[in-house]
Structure 1
């Protein structure tokens, strides 16, 4: 099973502000859906609550320490390790946030699907640094702002470097 992180962050590494995305990029949302559809998505409770619904066409696993937490149509896990075990059998699982889950996932992920937004935003949630000794770029596509997507951005796929 491939463990992938999928994230959008700004030049100053912001991923969220007040439990919402500080930007709207339709092309990023389209890519997110295309990559994750038919797979398992793992997220923290706050991320699930910010989305406000089950992501259709995907197995939704929510990580929370609240033992009595319930979310219709979702599977609840007490840790990232437990969520990964539940997802066993899927060819690729996607870690979709938030900040604490991303921080934990960086140690075990095989791939990073990054949308890098070339602007700075106010925020209270951040993505960790990507260590280029550990990660190498497999592909990068740049996009210019347009009537639908109001910011310049890049889609970057990183893969974990082979250990020597």
Structure 2
């Protein structure tokens, strides 16, 4: 069985995205994301792949697995998977990095959540899954990003 971690940043109201991107800029969150996922496979939906700046695709030093129904989809440095089961097949551990639909499909099987909580109100069209049944096991202090947004890192387990 694959160990599964979900990692995301969330603003007030559970907003995790807007129009295919993140409606904030918190460089410290991006550094934390890299630290958490480096060396492990990352699983994402195609829209999340498309939202990554081209210069960061594929995410370096990580196997990149992209879930898409498009049978002819391919990208250099990425492995295509037809569904979440296909994406996780053969992996000992994986970090799921989005988007909302993939999170919803896997939160019931996940072992860990790494959530960056952002103290900001933004409009969005993608939302974090419910954390009901999860408890905070790691709680970082509130900090202020160099972009001015307050944030903290939270780790959840069942």
Give the number of aligned pairs: 154
Gaps of 5+ in 2: none
Aligned to 2:148: 150
Aligned to 2:79: 75
- Distance in 2 (CA, whole Å) between partners of 1:130 and 1:159 is 10
Within 5 Å, give how 1:49-88 maps onto structure 2: 49-51=50-52, 52=54, 53-86=57-90, 88=91
TM-score between the two structures when normalised by the length of structure 1: 0.90
- Distance in 2 (CA, whole Å) between partners of 1:84 and 1:113 is 19
Shift of 1:149: 3.7
Gaps of 5+ in 1: none
- Distance in 1 (CA, whole Å) between partners of 2:68 and 2:141 is 36
Measured against aligned partners, the alpha-carbon deviations of 1:7-53 in whole angstroms (never above 9, x if no partner) come to 00111111111101101111111110011111000000000001032
Give the aligned CA root-mean-square deviation in angstroms: 1.1
Q: Secondary structure at the match of 2:98?
A: coil
- Distance in 1 (CA, whole Å) between partners of 2:144 and 2:135 is 26
Q: Secondary structure at the match of 1:96?
A: strand
TM-score between the two structures when normalised by the length of structure 2: 0.93
Divergent runs of 4+, >4 A = none
Aligned to 2:140: 141
Shift of 1:128: 1.5
Q: Secondary structure at the match of 1:101?
A: helix
